[in-house]
Amino acid sequence: MGIERILLRELIGNISDPVVFFEIVGEKAVIRHVNKSFENVFGFKESEVAGRSVDDLIVPEKDISMALEINRKVGSGQIVCVEVVRKARDGLRFFELMAIPAFTGAKQHGLAIYRDITEKKILQDKILESERRYRELFENSLDALVVVDQNLSFVEVNKAFEFMSGYRESELVGRNLGDLVEKSSFRKLLSNMKKRRRIRKMKIELKDKKGRKKILEGNLRYINGSEIILQFRDVTQLIRLEKLLRTINKINKLVLRENDVDRLLSESAKLLSSVEPGFACWIGLIEEGNVKRRVCTGYSCVDRADMNFKCFKKAYDKRKTVLIRSATREKICPAEWDGNCTISPMIVEDKVTGFVVLHSTVVPSKDELDLMQTLSDNIAFKIKALELEEAKKIAYGRIEDNIVKFATLADEIRNPLAAILAYAEIFVPDEVGREKIKSQVERVEKVLDELDRGWLESEKVREFLRRTWKLE
């Protein structure tokens, strides 16, 4: 063994990483020496591998062409640094390979130094997988997510926040959250962020790109010392739905206790208009083929609307609440009406008796439309009940009038009959004639007796109706 080989052995023996001293034969790298670290990491002793191709021994089949390319580069005098996968006795491992040409005489030799990065690679893969999962959750979350810095300036936002705000991520990055959020909400967020407090279910007012106000439920969570993740959920419709439910509950109580149609409609319209700023209510009843206004709050208070308007016809035909968006409203609604309209037919016994129209600057949800229909039907039922109650009172009054007239009529008839009998006794000398007159008077008396009995029966009927209909 030459002095060069001895020095080379000592050199590679002092290197802590696995080292292979190889000779390029043809296109393969043939092993001449390996150090102890190679034996420990790869699990092969030098006596097992000396004289074998390093490519055949430790290179996976799919990486053979890359390994041969490395051999060619080293043979031409190039130094190669590259990440590779190699086969050890216990399985595949990851390495940073440095291949250095080492010419000795006429032969082409080289050193392959393998720095084991398997654990680092596994950790990197775990980090990458974690980042991939985070990115997937971030982008695909149904909740709006934003990452902000210590000053609450946008770092990144997900698709849900883009949809909610109307802004693209490129329009938001670098801008401050305070540009979109109402000032008091922003100050509270900033204060809690500086105090390192976690916020859960904080209500925040945000204006989207079109200037529409939205109520968000926000959570504040720290990612690390410099970046914060905020999670938002749009609860605008949910809050409005809660307000509408409370309003409908108040109107239902009003329906139960109020017995005046005008007051019922007027108070119902006021309550509906108070659900949100910018709301207005118009209630009309069908009279002679047209819809005549009974009450109106806010704006768009037309006196009469034609049943042929498509908005009314659509609600009438479908027998349910319809939504007319502001974009199409002008084509099918009265010209004076503004904004989005919900038109609810007032239905009782499958008959449309009128309409409740709610104007708003927002587009109501399907749940809100269903609630409006239920409310309109309740109002229609109460109006019908009040009309029936009024009809009962009128009928009862007529019965009382008829009873009095029956009694008066009987008395008015009996008095002339008595006079007829007296005149017959005085002025009719013929006995036969007097008997005939007397006979006819008796027949009339019997009819009057029947009327008296009918009067008594009518009194019983009147008393029964008074108790049944609870009339005073």
Give the whole-angstrom CA distance, residue 292 versus residue 289.
Answer: 9
Give the whole-angstrom CA distance, residue 418 versus residue 211.
Answer: 93
Is residue 320 scored above 60 in pLDDT?
A: yes
**SS (HEC) of 74-114:** HHCCCCEEEEEEEEECCEEEEEEEEEEEEEECCEEEEEEEE
**73: enclosing H helix or E strand:** helix 64-75
What does the longest C-alpha to C-alpha distance in the chain come to?
A: 184
Q: What pLDDT is attached to residue 1? A: 46
Region 218-247 average pLDDT: 79
Is residue 167 scored above 60 in pLDDT?
A: yes
Is residue 228 within 8 Å of 222, Cβ to Cβ?
Answer: yes
Q: How far is CA 305 from CA 30, 39, 185, in A?
A: 98, 96, 44
User: Tens digit of pLDDT for each residue in 442-461?
Assistant: 776 666 666 556 555 555 55
**Which of 25-39, 371-385, 436-450 has the highest average model confidence (pLDDT)?**
25-39
Mean pLDDT across the chain: 81
What SS3 class is residue 144? strand
Is residue 360 scored above 50 in pLDDT?
A: yes
Q: What pLDDT is attached to residue 457? A: 57
Give the whole-angstrom CA distance, residue 95 versus residue 113.
Answer: 9
Q: What share of the chain is helix, strand, coil (3-state, %, to 5)?
A: 50, 25, 20
* Half-sphere exposure of residue 219: CA atoms within 13 angstroms, side-chain side: 9
Is residue 227 scored above 70 in pLDDT?
A: yes
Pick the residue with more confidence: 391 or 229?
Answer: 229
Region 271-298 average pLDDT: 85
Is residue 343 within 8 Å of 315, Cβ to Cβ?
Answer: yes
Which of 196-200, 342-346, 355-359 is the least confident region? Answer: 196-200
At 55, the amino acid letter reads D
Is residue 152 within 8 Å of 194, Cβ to Cβ?
Answer: no
- R_g of the chain, CA atoms, integer Å: 49
Q: What pLDDT is attached to residue 98? A: 94
Is residue 83 scored above 90 in pLDDT?
A: yes
Burial class (CB in 10 A: 0-12, 13-18, 19+), 470: exposed
Task: Report the predicted TM-score, pTM, of the whole model to 2 decimal places.
Answer: 0.53
Is residue 309 scored above 90 in pLDDT?
A: no
Going by pLDDT thresholds of 50, 70 and 90, the confidence category of residue 389 is: confident
